[in-house]
Amino acid sequence: MNARAALISATLASISVIAVFAPAAYATPAPNWGEEEPSSSPAAREGAAMAYDSNHGEMVLFGGETQEGVQLGDTWTWDGEDWTLETPPNSPSPRSNADMAFDAASGQMLLIGGQPDGGGETWRWNGSTWTELSPSTPAPEVFNPSLAYDPGMEMVLLFGGAATNGDLQNSTWSWNGITWTQLAPQTSPSPRWGAAMAYDPANDEMVLFGGIGENTGFADTWTWNGTTWNQETPAHDPPLSFGLPMAFSPATGSVIKLAGGGSETWGWDGTDWSRVTTFASPPARASYPMALDESKNELVLFGGLTMEGPFLGDTWTFGVQSDQAPVATISSPSDGQTFEVGDEVSVDFSCAAATDGPPLDSCVGSDGRQAPGGMLDTSTAGDRIYVVTATAEDGQTGSASIGYRVVKKASPKPPACRKVRGGLGLGTFGLVPPLGDAPPVPGLRIRIRARRDVDAKITPRITFAARGWASTVSLRPRIIRIDHSRKLRFRIPAGVRKEMRRERGSVYGARVTFSLQASVKAHGDRSSCFRKKVTRTIRTRVVNVSSRVALRRR
């Protein structure tokens, strides 16, 4: 830790302050801090100078000091998204603890003072190079001064700082675009360095807060009316601070500064200080620059040093953070799927707060169900969208959606009718034992053969013929499955038996004609596939069949 950082730490350690604050209300969405992620960035440092260049619409940062005590003389610009290292042909000597301000009246970006040897110098940045000015009255030889532009006076105002010999100053100077003039206010803050100073356009006044004196720190508030300094008596004061700049924030309509080691955000409304509620804050730090980026209406903060020792090289912004909306995610189903009417399809989704963003308030699907899931609407056919909306506590929203299509439930497609090769054949078979364990009845034993497994729709008929007389009986049609061979038993109908007995005195042994009309289809075909028609006839004798298995057909 360098000598100045050690002095800061020792000074703070010797001071005890109790801060009283009232939380400030915020708009929707609430102003908040957010850490930026530029692709390139200045190295970690403390004591850099920074101000917004209205001529070129960019933030300009110069110099500072590394943790190893190396003074820096590089120039960087911030375009709202990324840092760019400039390569000016001419630059101030490496230095830290200088200050910068943009003089709107003369269109000059000014850099003043700094250490080790920048005291008394005034430099101007024109967007591409630095030029040292030679005013008839040079700037005071100080480092850590307070510098800001006063549009009411149309002048840059400089207050205090530490002289090169270490003496603390409380003089007030103004820059009119040509030279420096020391002013003679009737009252002034006590000598100090590192005080925060910024112009408050909401109340049309320059505001100064805090700073470091001889072995003490300040938490007092002063305003400049154009001729003198007036000490304010707010009901609340931020904790004392050093090297913690402040700037006007359009997002809150107040002058904003960090306090409490740099981790608390406070706002000045022209009468009182109040704590500004934020969902995120930069890590505590000191000796960093902060300025208003007028193109984006947000404050930009870079780097600084921590009380624990490490120097920082991060970039934070404060304002209405449009990139801090919560994030919604739909994990299933995937986008673009098709479902049938009446399908029950669950949706898995979740929501998360943005990094540095406000906490979640709700995570709801378009069917009104809360995370972790809902159901797709498949009640009717058509193209549909399912949306998940994440809402943060400050009203910012984020969403995710999937599109899907609902179609009418498709009727099962009937199998095609396949060609059945070959036909059916008829034969008879014997029984071993002949009757089984059931009472015998007169009938026929018929074997139906097929070349392959088929279903057959059969219409059997039995014909008995005698001297000049014949009787034909049709049995009830049925559908049977034939696995290459199928055995069937048929009873002789009662009317035929009666005629046989009358003719021969016996049924058994009588020859009858069994004929079969059939149409067949392959297994698995639809029912309408019975297309191949065959007729088969066989002459056989009446034998015993088992009454238990005989087909009773009338």
Which pLDDT tens digits describe the chain residue by residue (554 residues)?
444 444 444 433 333 333 333 333 333 577 899 999 999 999 999 999 999 999 999 999 999 999 999 999 999 999 999 999 999 999 999 999 999 999 999 999 999 999 887 678 999 999 999 999 999 999 999 999 999 999 999 999 999 999 988 899 999 999 999 999 999 999 999 999 999 999 999 999 999 999 999 888 899 999 999 999 999 999 999 887 666 899 999 999 999 999 876 678 999 999 999 999 888 899 988 899 999 999 999 999 999 998 777 999 999 999 988 778 899 999 999 999 999 999 999 999 999 999 888 899 999 999 999 999 999 999 999 999 999 999 988 888 899 999 999 999 877 776 678 887 777 889 888 876 655 667 888 988 999 998 888 888 999 999 888 777 788 888 889 889 988 888 888 888 888 888 888 888 888 888 899 999 988 888 878 778 888 788 999 999 998 887 766 554 32
Q: Which residue has the tokens 């000045």?
A: 268
How far from chain centre, in Å, is Cα 283?
A: 25
- For residues 197 and 157, the answer to whether their CB atoms sit within 8 Å is yes
Residues 436 and 493 in one domain: yes
How many domains does the chain fold into? Answer: 3
Please report whether residue 255 resides in a domain: yes
* Domain, as residue range, for 377: 327-407
Residues 25 and 77 in one domain: yes
> What's residue 414's pLDDT?
66
Residues 362 and 401 in one domain: yes
DSSP state of 286: B
- For residues 155 and 105, the answer to whether their CB atoms sit within 8 Å is yes
- Strand-pairing partners, residue 35, are 316
Residues 429 and 392 in one domain: no
- For residues 330 and 401, the answer to whether their CB atoms sit within 8 Å is yes
Residues 350 and 454 in one domain: no
How far is residue 48's CA from residue 314's CA, in Å, rounded to a whole number?
Answer: 13
> What's residue 103's pLDDT?
96
Residues 370 and 503 in one domain: no
> What's residue 180's pLDDT?
97
Q: Which residue has the tokens 């990139």?
A: 323
Residues 133 and 264 in one domain: yes
Residues 306 and 333 in one domain: no
Residues 112 and 253 in one domain: yes
Please report whether residue 160 resides in a domain: yes
> What's residue 28's pLDDT?
58
Please report whether residue 516 resides in a domain: yes
Residue 527: partners with Cβ closer than 8 Å, 6 or more residues away: none
Q: Which two tokens stand for residue 302?
A: 């870079």
Please report whether residue 413 resides in a domain: no
How far is residue 248's CA from residue 452's CA, in Å, rounded to a whole number?
Answer: 94
Residue 542: partners with Cβ closer than 8 Å, 6 or more residues away: 442, 443, 444, 492, 500, 507, 508, 509, 510, 511, 512
> What's residue 437's pLDDT?
66
If we measure between CA atoms, which residue out of 198, 194, 184, 36 comes closest to residue 102?
198
Please report whether residue 416 resides in a domain: no
Q: Is the dihedral of CA 108, 287, 298, 196 positive or negative?
A: negative
Please report whether residue 417 resides in a domain: no
Residues 334 and 286 in one domain: no
Dihedral class, residue 128 (left if φ above 0, else alpha if ψ from -120 to 50, else beta): alpha
Residues 66 and 154 in one domain: yes
Please report whether residue 552 resides in a domain: no
177 burial via Cβ count (<10 Å: 0-12, 13-18, 19+): middle
Residues 94 and 113 in one domain: yes
How far is residue 531's CA from residue 514's CA, in Å, rounded to a whole number?
Answer: 22
Helix spans in 329-442 (H): none
